[in-house]
A and B are shown apart, each in its own frame.
Chain A
């Protein structure tokens, strides 16, 4: 087989991801020499302007990092600041926070499964195009997504940047009667989530394997969402954990010239966080109904050690997690007794606090330093996609290499494969700004041919 020599593949703007980015792939004599996920999303400097703000403000301000997972930002911010002020909230407030977070999980997972990811498996450009042949399925996805949004609107006021979260709890807590209408919607959502598992289980999955270490939060008795201990399942099968306060000692960010997002390493190695990591680490703690969904989806039983490392199959794990989140929301509502007070007072204490929660796309860590007057003096945000970026590039390099080894894909085929590989990881590029543009450079001998069509920021106008 002859390989075209050296080529540069450039995807100027990735689609069906959150935020904007590109990919650059360099192929020299049939060998992928470089795969770079370029995050050209402009920097927004949250960590800089949080300094000087009141310690009560980060939950509202950091929500604005991401329109898809604002609750994750609000919950990590609250956890970190409450840690600094040595306040713990009462169990009824913790349950309500988990309920709000379930709403975000349902909304975000349904969005990714139906609107961003499923079209790849069915050869469509978008869910809207998919609806021409799979109307009932797309309607089901939208209905499921709406159930998540309804929960967020009820508890948070609105789905994007909810207004009801504050340090110590909520501004206002719902009555049992107010939660009742959403219960009906969630019962329908449970059916829709189950049918989502059955639908995606019928997709065709290319072979692939993520070699990176897997990082997720873990709790002793439940599937970790709004709290937990960072826990690692290494590629060699060993596990380890560390306290949240040591997060940045283990997850070190480095800054690469090709991207405005920072790259992280976990103890010097590539790591992946998100659905695959959570299922590997906490899968055994899923509810019986979600475990049954996992088995039905072909993921095996995590109580018997089943781990999924195929990123194409992450859509199955997301579907299982959606079944879990809907069931968990119903369980919390069933057990709900309104707390005596909507929030616990959090008086400012000079110090440093750490908080980490499971955004739908992975571990989100916050660290704040506040002074005795409650003014933030430093802030560190480590979003999931910045952590995943190295593992995604590694994944891309391997998939592109195999595709080139198995044939001589043209740039269009290679581009489509690489975009799929990226969407497998549900990257949140807006969050990563402190992410993506595809370029494949193929060089033949010493001649270089840039096949790039778009430049970053091209509006195709």
Chain B
């Protein structure tokens, strides 16, 4: 029997599960290797668990989703979170630093109709996760690697070095050194292939923190290149809103 694959979604933009459908060259081959048992965006055929591999996109922002993610975990042999929302709370985790009731009043005429938690948290804050794939959105090649690795029972080859390594490998001139462009590349997890510098802009951190983060070395460079304190804070608090926070606390000591 082919192993079963399930795809679930919590609070998110659908971009990471869409990445699976964006594997145009691999999709039908993959569908020949696995049984897609639950993938609402792509199929109305829904099979009950347990599932061999579950991919979870999105963050936990409601009490229902907190329950749901536990049910998903219980039904999954391997659970892999995909994307910045599922691994770090996503951009909607900006509420973690704000008053969610005030947010509710700003956006909705009837805030009382809207149920939400005060926080947006990664899946790993609720259940054990077997692997976290970073990115806002995830990278197609990395997704194929993770699925292939789990299907063949090995560890995914996803290095946790920084975007700088990818720039060097790509032969991209450093935008900070050459142009004084503020760039989060030195502290951001590799995986995108160092896209932004190749398009003449600084990395804005959509893959979250890399394996080693040295904010005390980076922040003076960001200031030198024109960012004030508020801009530095905004820069670090966007698509992986909460993820750089622990490093900020460490560097404040």
Contacts and interface: CB of A to CB of B under 8 A. Distances in A.
A binds B: yes
A146 B14 contact: no
Interface residues of A, number: 76
B248 to A, nearest CB: 18
Contacts of B192: 158
Interface string A156-189: 0111110110100011100000000000000000
Interface string B22-65: 10110110010000101111111111111000000000011011
A47 B102 CA distance: 12
A129 B28 CA distance: 10
A138 to B, nearest CB: 7
A97 B93 CA distance: 31
A456 interface: yes
B67 A16 contact: no
Nearest to B108: A255
Contact of A67 (B18, B25, B42): B18
Interface in B214-239: 231, 234, 238-239
Contacts of B8: 459
Place the interface of chain B in its size category.
35 or more
Contacts of B1: none
A157 B42 contact: no
Interface stretch (B69-77, B123-131, B154-162, B163-171): B69-77
Contacts of A14: 40
Majority secondary structure of chain A interface residues (helix, strand, loop or mixed): loop
Contact of A457 (B15, B68, B90, B234): B68
Contact of A461 (B41, B72, B91, B102): B72
A282 B9 CA distance: 36
B102 A48 contact: yes
A241 to B, nearest CB: 27
Nearest to B17: A67
A131 B199 contact: no
Given A42-B10, A159-B22, A49 B95 contact: yes
A240 interface: no
A254 interface: yes
Given A459-B38, A461-B75, A54 B234 contact: yes
A423 B110 CA distance: 28
Which of A47, A51, A460 counts the most chain B CB atoms within 10 A? A460
A67 B199 contact: no
A163 B62 CA distance: 30
Which of A70, A158, A262 counts the most chain B CB atoms within 10 A? A158
B94 A49 contact: yes
A266 interface: no
B36 A158 contact: no
B91 A49 contact: yes
Contact of A255 (B50, B91, B109): B109
Given A49-B91, A115-B42, A128-B31, A255 B110 contact: yes
Given A67-B13, A128-B31, A128-B36, A45 B95 contact: yes
B201 A149 contact: no
Interface of A: 13-20, 40-49, 51, 53-54, 57, 60-61, 64-68, 70, 111, 115-116, 119, 125-129, 131, 135, 138-139, 142-143, 145-146, 149, 157-161, 163-164, 166, 170-172, 253-257, 260, 262, 342, 419, 430, 434, 456-461
Given A66-B15, A127-B42, 9 more contacts: A18-B41, A45-B106, A67-B12, A67-B15, A116-B42, A149-B24, A160-B137, A164-B201, A262-B108
12 contacts: A43-B108, A45-B107, A64-B239, A67-B17, A67-B137, A126-B43, A131-B31, A172-B199, A419-B44, A460-B48, A461-B49, A461-B50
